[in-house]
Structure 1
Amino acid sequence: MTFYARIAAASLILAAMGAAACSPEPEKREATSTPPAALSHPDIHAFRIGQIQAVALKDGEMAFPATNREMSPWSDTAEVSALLTASGQADGQIHLSIQPLLVRDGERVVLIDTGAGGQMGTEGKLLASLRAAGVEPGQVTDVLISHAHGDHVGGLAGKDGALTFPNAVVRMSAAEWEFAKAGAAEAGAAPLLAAITPRVQTFAPGAQVTPSIKAVPLAGHTPGHSGYEIVSGTERLLYIGDAMHSSLVSVQRPELVNGWDSDGAPGVTTRQGLLNRGASESLRVYGVHFPFPGVGRFQRRDDGFVWVPES
């Protein structure tokens, strides 16, 4: 199976999770108010969005040769390689980090995406990162899914098939849930669907999914792909999911069609819109695949844009 097929097939919700089954509910404990290792742990990064506490949680990394047409989503491999070299990246590899986002929204402990679950060549660090942030899996109340690809839903279940976050509601857009069910059904995943369905709550585009988090439709990558905008007072942060993958290629050459997008033209439009809005509003952005911890802003530079991570 090619790298493209592994990352982009709709049936990855099956491949990443296996035959998931509901596990007994553990005793609930209150999540600690401050990550105990926030200043020292290499795989977490605590920050604030107004009064909201958030933590970037490292799950792992993926890397692949920019010149390999089967692995790279950008067909113009020569241009991508030149861009990497000009940016000082001499190894010729496209590096993508994976960092789900933890958000404490009032009484809710929210996890946005769940990583790859140790698959697709990643390290499977999410649960260790979550615990370093002071949260046990049973304390997560809401899991927000941007889309149903394996590097975003893989952490929903362990290798034994038990649900990783047994007390959490799993929320995704209605269109994405239909997309996920269609892919899983084609793979004969009736048991998986039976296990997940009681946990899933779908929403319409633009829905307010928690008191401080609003779903933002970001067209192109999958039929129901969603970003999430987190707002507290006058501060906000936009989680962009897979609207962009590379902090270099996706930002500096947004017009390049991404082969991992289910619909390339809307994907280009979405990237261009995010860059214009982000730069015009100096909007804080969370890039789940950008270099860890993925927090920063887009800035206009010459006739294009660059990614500027927070220091």
Structure 2
Amino acid sequence: MQPTTTQLLQKGFYRFKVGRFECISVSDGSYDYDPKLMFSGLPEDKVKEILHHHHIPLDKLTSPYTFLFVDTGEHKILADMGAGTLGPNTGKLVNNLKLAGIRPEDIDTIIITHAHPDHIGGTLNEEGKPNYPNARYIMWKIEWDFWFSEEASKKVDEHLSKIVPTEIFMKIAHGQLGPIKDRIEFITKEIEILPGVSLHFAPGHTPSHLAISFSSEGEELFFTSDTVVFPFLLERPDLVMVFDMMPGIAVHSKRKICDLVAERKALVHAQHFSPFPSLGHIIKKDKGWQWKPYYYQIEGLRSA
């Protein structure tokens, strides 16, 4: 019998394999957004039409916050650090890793895809110490430079302040990342950062947003992070979200990454995609793409 999404969420994690890599999809909780505030430059009636078409309630869009742990056999890798105390139902990542048998101190590499609060808010614990004390952190240099510049507040205020107050973005970026600066390895080009682990430049959501691919024994998994924020946006490449700080560049990155994973038939882990554990395939459909989530079985995965 297949476990239900509710059962998987209650467990807090889901194990699967990519070649010889042991992978775990880990829940950090969820966050409720007002979907009427998520679109840029659209009249209210058009927004309501889009939401109705995709069966999204007008008052609330509940987004899973799902993160990825990968054990390559040589390295234990975490993609982003969770949201911490951003919302009333976030901050579960560390505990759910422990429930899955992963000690935070055993994680040796953390890849920061971008510096939005839901991806870095869980960097430090309540005492201000790193939740992952023995990890090195990988981050694109331009991303760091942006969040510690005067331009950042202006950009956040322009694009994101209706969703989360600007001061929260800046406080979390400075407060969570500042104390670990000496642990961060800054990169400036797309590279294979570890054997079978490659970084893909996908800017637009933020100035230097990253996607990550994991390849082993002919199988491939992409952690797309926020290249596409919600699955219904795959079918509408024309829609611009307030989350995307550089909208035109974000559209280009979306096409680049989605076309790539569709062509390669790669497994995709997308942080905000339902249902948990946010795994599936992205396939070409008309002028866009379609999300094909997976059902889950004790012995593995099969397509929806």
Which category describes the TM-score, using the shorter chain as reference length? Answer: 0.7 to 0.9
CA contact (8 A) 2:283 2:292 kept: yes
Aligned to 2:230: 246
CA contact (8 A) 2:123 2:176 kept: no
Unaligned runs of 5+ in 2: 1-6, 154-169, 296-304
The answer as to 2:48 corresponding to 1:81 is yes
Could you give the per-residue CA deviations for residues 151-205 of structure 1, whole angstroms, max 9, x where no partner exists?
1011110122111111110111111122233369986998876631221111222
Map of 1:64-75 to 2, 5 A cutoff? 64-67=33-36, 69=37, 72-75=38-41
- Which of 118, 141, 150 matches 2:117? 150
- Which of 226, 235, 239 matches 1:256? 239
For the aligned residue pairs, the C-alpha RMSD in angstroms reads: 2.7
Could you give the per-residue CA deviations for residues 49-94 of structure 1, whole angstroms, max 9, x where no partner exists?
1110110110011122322x3xx24443544433333334446532
| Alpha-carbon distance in structure 2 between the residues aligned to 1:112 and 1:183 | 27
Unaligned runs of 5+ in 1: 1-37
Could you give the per-residue CA deviations for residues 237-260 of structure 1, whole angstroms, max 9, x where no partner exists?
111111111111x21112212222
| Alpha-carbon distance in structure 2 between the residues aligned to 1:54 and 1:235 | 13
The answer as to 2:199 corresponding to 1:215 is yes
Map of 1:43-192 to 2, 5 A cutoff? 43-67=12-36, 69=37, 72-76=38-42, 77-90=44-57, 92-182=59-149
> Structure 2 length normalisation: TM-score?
0.80
Aligned to 1:288: 271
The sequence identity of aligned pairs, in percent, is: 26
How far off is 1:130 after superposition? 0.3
Aligned to 1:42: 11
| Alpha-carbon distance in structure 2 between the residues aligned to 1:190 and 1:65 | 26
| Alpha-carbon distance in structure 2 between the residues aligned to 1:50 and 1:304 | 29
Aligned to 2:252: 269
Bigger share in strand: 2
| Alpha-carbon distance in structure 2 between the residues aligned to 1:174 and 1:144 | 13
CA contact (8 A) 2:8 2:277 kept: no
Aligned to 1:6: none
| Letter of the 2:11 counterpart | P
SS of 2:257's equivalent in the other structure is helix
| Alpha-carbon distance in structure 1 between the residues aligned to 2:51 and 2:206 | 26
Aligned to 2:187: 203
| Alpha-carbon distance in structure 2 between the residues aligned to 1:185 and 1:272 | 25
| Alpha-carbon distance in structure 2 between the residues aligned to 1:300 and 1:192 | 38
Aligned to 1:231: 215
CA contact (8 A) 1:252 1:306 kept: yes
- Structure 1 residues 52-61 or 282-291, which shifts more? 282-291
| Alpha-carbon distance in structure 1 between the residues aligned to 2:195 and 2:48 | 43
SS of 2:121's equivalent in the other structure is helix
| Alpha-carbon distance in structure 2 between the residues aligned to 1:40 and 1:289 | 14
How far off is 1:224 after superposition? 1.5
| Letter of the 2:51 counterpart | L
| Alpha-carbon distance in structure 2 between the residues aligned to 1:272 and 1:151 | 23
| Letter of the 1:301 counterpart | K
Map of 1:12-51 to 2, 5 A cutoff? 42-51=11-20
SS of 2:139's equivalent in the other structure is strand
Which gives a bigger RCO, structure 1 or 2 (Cα 8 Å, sep 6+)?
1
| Letter of the 1:294 counterpart | S
- The total of aligned residue pairs comes to 270
